[in-house]
Amino acid sequence: RFYEKVQALHQDPKASVDNPLLAFSLIKRLHSDWPNVIYSDEATENTQALHAGFKEVEQELPGAEDLDGAARALMRLQDVYSLSVKGMANGVFQRAGAGRPPLYSPGRRVSLSADDCFHVGKVAYDTGDYYHSIAWLEEAVGLFRRSYGSWNPEDRSSLEDALDHLAFSYFMAGNISHALSLSREFLHYDPSNRRVARNVAKYEKLLETGTAGGRWAWWRGRGPPPQCCPSPHTLLGPFSPQLAPEHLPHLSCSYETNGSPYLLLQPAKKEMVRIRPYVALYHDFISDAEAETIKGLAGPWLQRSVVASGEKQQKAEYRISKSAWLKDTADPVVRALEQRIAAVTGLDLRPPYAEYLQVVNYGLGGHYEPHFDHATSRKSPLYRMKSGNRIATVMIYVSVPPSSISRPRAWSSVGFRVNSNAALFWWNLRRNGDGDGDTLHAGCPVLAGDKWVANKWIHEHGQEFR
């Protein structure tokens, strides 16, 4: 009520001081009315209730690790899809360079604030990644300059903070003159800061003596990180060249029963997409209802995915996803899926000849850098099952991001669009049991929405006569 009263009185600010009665009431409000409201019993009770309510949900809220991970995800999308930082800050997912159509057009365009851009730049800055910190802090400085003097209670940073971090980033990148001009701008807003004043003196001396250029040495050759792969649904590898599909008679589509009674009434829709390595794509492998059931079963058990590291398993930055394992006893849908995989592949999936179904969720910027599914060392945890190496992989696309996202052309010699409910099958090992180096593959960062896949890894033992 008090706020509404003040708002009404300040509709014409000049009138508030012209009228002696309004001038008196203004002075009284500033001296006593506001403190009375701020320190009233009601305000204290409201604050306590607010704190108590926050404490109740605090454990469920994202932590610092989640926030920093989200910032790194934005930088990952920036690199892999060559996105413009200025465009991202304005809510546009557009490749750097003029006149290019956006890769993704969200239904609702949301811009980032100066404080948002500062946080992304600060995450890069704290890890010594000055390539990214410069791009994001430049955007933060520009936005802070435009809004300088207006107070935003949600901001934890300021123009001075952004200038300070950006100046040092440029210094570390070897651009001393720009670091100097930014530091001088900082001192314009905060003349008493001795640390920045010392930096200004240091930068001036470096420029005078001509020793600034040496700092470029570490930066040389360090442009943006290399692109992983252009599509989140592409199998990659150092393949030997393959002829165009029209010149490959073995690349075809067919209805397959694989000699299994299970597939007689509903054959599998098989498309051969690669001969070496052998890669088959099965369309409509699962139904929409089965996909929803799998996501529902896995959802409560999702945990950060781990990778094999020597004899242990651990989290890694090159695999950002959450996963859960489902036994065939978890639900009739999982059991039916296992039977379908066995029928299509002709392989034995009974324990311990195959691993449980792994369901993986890739969220904001979720990705998996190029890797092999099979173990490349006898010390790998995969050998604990005592059923040999992973001979084959079945990857089911439970749901993929919206098809409205336009994707760049694949760099690898195999590239194809995979829709939800499809499945990929490939052999990980050659006939002599050695790992097939051509099965290197990756999951690129998710640009919009999220991606769900289910992996079935089948081992060597039990397949000798199949």
Give 255's strand partners: 269
State the Cα torsion 111-116-121-124 to the nearest 10°: -110
The reply to whether 262 and 184 lie within a common domain is: no
Question: Per the domain annotation, does 466 fall within a domain?
Answer: no
For residue 382, give its domain range. 253-459
pLDDT of residue 9: 75
Question: Per the domain annotation, does 243 fall within a domain?
Answer: no
Average pLDDT, the chain: 84
pLDDT in tens, 322-346: 999 999 999 999 999 999 999 999 9
Give 361's strand partners: 322, 452
The reply to whether 127 and 257 lie within a common domain is: no
Count of the separate structural domains present in the chain: 2
CATH number for the domain harbouring residue 145: 1.25.40.10
Asked whether the predicted pLDDT for residue 244 surpasses 90, the reply is: no
CATH number for the domain harbouring residue 307: 2.60.120.620
Question: Per the domain annotation, does 455 fall within a domain?
Answer: yes
Q: Which of helix, strand or coil describes residue 108?
A: coil
The reply to whether 205 and 262 lie within a common domain is: no
Closest CA to 411 of 73, 72, 82: 82
The reply to whether 408 and 273 lie within a common domain is: yes
The reply to whether 123 and 26 lie within a common domain is: yes
pLDDT in tens, 115-154: 999 999 999 999 999 999 999 999 999 999 998 878 777 8
CA distances from 463 to 279, 280, 346 (A): 19, 19, 9
pLDDT in tens, 2-22: 788 888 777 776 665 667 777
Question: Per the domain annotation, does 229 fall within a domain?
Answer: no
Question: Per the domain annotation, does 228 fall within a domain?
Answer: no
The reply to whether 195 and 324 lie within a common domain is: no
Mean pLDDT on 264-289: 94
CA 309 to chain centre: 22
Q: Which residue has the higher pLDDT, 105 or 464?
A: 464
Q: Which residue has the higher pLDDT, 389 or 221?
A: 389
Query: What is the per-residue DSSP string for 68-101?
Result: HHHHHHHHHHHHHTTB-HHHHHTT-B-BSSTTPP
The reply to whether 47 and 196 lie within a common domain is: yes
